Structure 1
Amino acid sequence: MKDQHLISLTVNGEPHEVLAESRRTLADVLRHDLGYTGTHLGCEHGICGACTVLVDGVPARSCLMFGVQADGAEIGTVEGLADGDRLSDLQEAFSRRHGLQCGFCTPGFLMLAEAFLAENPDATREEIREAVSANLCRCTGYQGIVEAVADVAESRRERA
């Protein structure tokens, strides 16, 4: 008999209940049980950051967290950034500033950057560079990512 638990979590504002095995990761629950496939699995060791989601507003490596640990949590995934067919300002900036190439790591960077900007609206480029260094990208060289995040930080400051 498998050790399963009924967990309740809210993903991008939508409540879900899932019967999850104790050993199943949050990434697997999101991708396979709930269909949020924007959360990518790269290294599955917590190093690359492609699986980064927000758990109660804090970036977390969903490959290192068990789904049962998310019981009662508010989860944010890349699918929750866009507003219908309209991309978020961060997603548009990544496109405009060439902050993505193959796109595999992009969901993790977007979620990391979203949380970082919420806590650091006045971040400098150096602070942004330090923050995004937590995730790995094999394609872009990071400059486009840093510029995209800096553009959004400036734009959001001007609107506030």
Structure 2
Amino acid sequence: MDFSFSYGYGSSDEISSAFDYATPSRVSSLLRSPPQPKKVAPRITGKRIRIVSPGENLNEIGGEISLQAKLFAQLKDEWREAVAYSSSPTEMAMHPAYQRIIGMGREALPFIFAELKASPFWWFWALRAITGHDPVDASMKGRLELMSKAWLQWWELNKDQ
């Protein structure tokens, strides 16, 4: 079985470590305590380890679903199941899974907006908490479709910032 380790900022070709072809036991030890530069997070996909800069597209890497995408999906499912019959915005927003999604910060935004586009739901509290913005006019409050549309328009204008 061939394992490899890439270490870089962006593409794995930019910076490569001495561990390009590591043994499974070496990879295992690297997974326990990988060397990391400041402000980057390890991303494990299949047999490769990539160091990914914050803000890089986290939805898919190399055709495989990222760990953040899996975590988001798990938390979203837990939250939606728990609040399916709730009409209280506070109860929805204070659910532990929803709070963990907010804790993911800007990394959660592409996932939240994909959800919002596919099926409007009450993501607005999280969006305000993460972005610090609220593009919803007072006349739209409580109107799920209009609120979703306002946020999706905001995302199209601001997603590259």
So what's the TM-score if we normalise by structure 2? 0.32
Task: Choose between structure 1 and 2: higher strand proportion.
Answer: 1
Higher relative contact order (CA 8 A, sep 6+): 1
